[in-house]
Amino acid sequence: MRDPVSFLKEEYEALVGQDLDWKLRVLAGPSAPWCHVDGKRVLMFCSNNYLGLSNHPRLKEAAIEAVKSHGAGSGSVRPIAGNMDLHVELEERLARFKAAEASLVYQTGFAANSGLIPQLAGKDDLIISDELNHGSIIDGVRLSHADRGVYKHADPDDLGRVLGEAEKASPPPRRILVITDGVFSMDGDIAPLDRIASLAAEHGAMVYVDDAHGEGVLGEGGRGIVSHFRVPRERVQVEMGTFSKAFGVVGGHVSGSRELTRFAYNKSRTWLLSGSHPPAVVAACIAAIDVLESEPEHVKRLWDNTSRFKKAMKDLGFDIGRSETPITPVMVGDSAVAKRLSLRIFELGVFALPIVYPMVAQGKARIRTIMNAALSDEDVDFAVAAFEKAGKEQGLV
C-alpha cells in the first residue's frame, strides 16, 4: 500500500534537486545593522526593518511595560474576549497617523489581503490586478471567485484599457476593484497611484493599495503612498499596510472609512477567527507610531543611505534595475550566478539573499538588498566594497 504522505518527501527532494528549496539561516540576537547569522558576524542587508525600529529602545520598553500591565497574551479572538484597550488605542493612533477616518488591525498583512479581498468582490464582480502584485494579493483574488483582469505592470494606460473593456461587457460587472502594490517588493519601483486612482474614479471602481513596503518610507513622515502622491483620501477606498516592515514589529492593517472597518471586522474570517495580538506586540506598534511622529530623522537617514548605496553601485557598473526606493535589486540574470554572488558577499561579511526563478522570471535573478536607516556611512561603504570584490570575481563589473 502506498504511503499517503510520501509526496511530502518526494516534492521536497525535487525542490532540492533543482536548488529551489529555501535554506533557512539562523539569526542570533536582534535584527540590527551588525548581527550574527549562522554564527558569523555580518552586516544585515536584506531585512525589511527599514528604520531599525525593531531594536529601538522605546519599542522594547513599551513591550515590557505592556506585559507587566496586560499579561503575555490577549486570551481570545477580538470579537469574543480578546479586544483589549490597547488594540483600540492602536487603531485610533494609526487612523490619525494615516489621516483616515478609521483603521483596523489584522494579525498579519497576508491575513488582511487574503481575508478582506474576497469580501470586497465575488461572483459577478471584477478584480483588476497589476501583473506583478504580491502573492498575498493573488491568493486573496483567487479566494474571491470574482472575474479577474490583469494590466501591464505599473501601466495606467493598460489599466484604462481593461476598465474600458469592463464597461462594454454584457452584463457589466456588479462591482470593480482595482488592486496594486504601492512599492513592488522585488524591483523597488512605485505604483503610479495618482493616475490609478483617477482612472478608477472615472470608471466607478474601488481602489485597494497594498502599501506594505511604502509605510515608513514614502510620504510625509513615512505616512505612505497615499500621502506621497497626495491622493484625495476618498479615491483610495482601502489602504492596506503592515507593522512587520518599517514599523519593526508584526501585524497587518487597513485604513479608510468607518464603513470599511466595520464591514471588514464583520466579514473577514482571518480577522474573526484568529487570536488577537499579544499586548507586547500592540504596545510596540503604538510606540513605533510615536517614534515616526517624533523622530523624523530615521526616514531622512533611510533615504540618505539609499542614495549613497545606489550611486556607488551605479558608479561601479552594477545594474540596479528600475528601483525608486530603499529596495535595490542587484540584477545578475542567471540564478546560479546570483547564488554564488550571495554566498561570496556573505563570506565577505554582508548578508543579502539571492532572488531566483520561480520567485522571479527566468533570466531576472538578482540579489535583493534593502537599506536600513540604522546603517552608518561606513557600513554602506563596507557593503559596496564587498559587492565590488565579489562582482569582479564573478565578472559582473
- Known catalytic residues are 185, 213, 245
Residue (of 156, 207, 213, 210) closest to 186 by Cα position: 213
DSSP string, 61-125: HHHHHHHHHH-S---SBTTTT---HHHHHHHHHHHHHHT-SEEEEES-HHHHHHHHHHHH--TT-
Residue (of 303, 293, 284, 139) closest to 217 by Cα position: 303
Q: How far apart are the first and last CA of the chain?
A: 56
Helices (H), the chain: 6-17, 57-70, 85-98, 109-120, 135-144, 156-168, 193-202, 225-229, 258-267, 269-272, 279-294, 297-316, 335-347, 377-393
Residue 148 Rama label (left phi>0; alpha psi -120 to 50; beta) = beta
C-alpha to C-alpha distance for 108 and 48, rounded to whole angstroms: 14
C-alpha to C-alpha distance for 133 and 181, rounded to whole angstroms: 6
Buried b (16+ CB within 10 A) or exposed e, 65-74: ebeeebeeeb
The type of residue at 240 is M
How far is C-alpha 339 from the chain's CA centre? 23
Give the residue carrying C-alpha cell 542614495.
307
C-alpha to C-alpha distance for 112 and 104, rounded to whole angstroms: 9
The type of residue at 91 is E
- How many Cβ atoms from other residues are within 10 Å of residue 267's Cβ? 14
- How many Cβ atoms from other residues are within 10 Å of residue 250's Cβ? 18
Buried b (16+ CB within 10 A) or exposed e, 273-286: ebebbbbbbbbbbb
Q: Contact at 8 Å (CB) between 213 and 230?
A: no
C-alpha to C-alpha distance for 221 and 326, rounded to whole angstroms: 15
